[in-house]
Amino acid sequence: GIENCLVVDSKGKSGSLAMLWSLEITVQITSYSNHHINAEIQNANGRSWRCTGIYGHPEAKKRSIPRLY
* pLDDT in the model for residue 28: 96
* pLDDT in the model for residue 59: 78
* Distance, CA of 36 to CA of 52 (rounded, Å): 7
pTM over 0.85: no
HSE-CB at 4 with a 13 A cutoff on CA atoms is 10
Task: Calculate mean pLDDT across residues 23-38.
Answer: 92
For residue 9, pLDDT over 90 is answered with no
* pLDDT in the model for residue 61: 78
* pLDDT in the model for residue 39: 97
8 contact partners, CB below 8 Å, separation of at least 6: 16, 17, 18, 32, 33, 34, 37
* pLDDT in the model for residue 30: 96
